[in-house]
């Protein structure tokens, strides 16, 4: 059963080499299988209030109910991924939390003084917002709009991990 509304449900990592990272996460950590979206299309992208179109690939895989997201940026467009990569190198980037009341949560974070660093909409219709909590939490918080399609996607990832026997560790979306 996926994490409940308002619970940490994802941990995100930025990587320089997706293949190497996938090998590590599947063979060393045992997370997976991973589903890759090459050159993910994001609509309504804003980086720190300005349009930006980073060319990224993402891979999603689970360890139990926790989703692991790996992100590789292929260009030098301004983004939260490039920003953190330049500051610290590859590694931990964000925690993901999904909410049905997405707009209220974004406003709550902003009221606490956290800037919306990157936001947009993914092809299945869910919105997201990376809130800049780096100074206080050592990483960003990605707020994810929970709707039926988003819940179905993450439920399918969890089911794939639950039944995974270690074969076919990398799959294309």
The CATH number of residue 134's host domain is 3.10.180.10
Residue 167 domain-assigned? Answer: no
Dump pLDDT digits (tens) for 72-86: 999 999 999 999 999
Entry pTM:
0.95
Total domain count for the chain? 1
Please, are residues 42 and 15 in contact by the beta-carbon 8 Å criterion? no
Residue 170 domain-assigned? Answer: no
Quick one: pLDDT at residue 5? 80
Provide the pLDDT confidence category of residue 27 given band limits of 50, 70 and 90: very high
Quick one: pLDDT at residue 155? 92
Residue 36 domain-assigned? Answer: yes
Residue 135 domain-assigned? Answer: yes
Give the chain's radius of gyration (CA, Å): 15
Residue 66 domain-assigned? Answer: yes
By residue range, what is the domain housing residue 17? 8-162
């Amino acid at each position: 059963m996926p994490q409940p509304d308002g619970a940490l449900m994802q941990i995100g990592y930025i990587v320089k080499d997706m293949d190497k990272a996938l090998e590590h996460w599947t063979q060393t950590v045992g997370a997976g299988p991973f589903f890759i979206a090459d050159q993910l299309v994001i609509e309504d992208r804003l980086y720190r209030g300005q349009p930006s179109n980073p060319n990224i690939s993402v891979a999603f895989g689970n360890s139990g109910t926790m989703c692991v997201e790996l992100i590789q940026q292929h260009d030098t467009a301004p983004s939260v991924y490039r920003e953190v990569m330049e500051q610290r190198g590859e590694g931990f980037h964000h925690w993901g939390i999904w909410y049905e009341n997405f707009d209220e949560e974004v406003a709550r974070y902003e009221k606490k003084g956290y800037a919306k660093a990157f936001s947009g909409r993914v092809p299945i219709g869910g919105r997201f917002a990376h809130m800049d909590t780096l100074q206080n939490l050592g990483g960003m918080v990605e707020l994810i709009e929970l709707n039926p399609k988003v819940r179905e996607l993450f439920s399918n990832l969890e089911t794939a991990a639950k039944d995974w026997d270690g074969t076919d560790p990398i799959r294309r979306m």
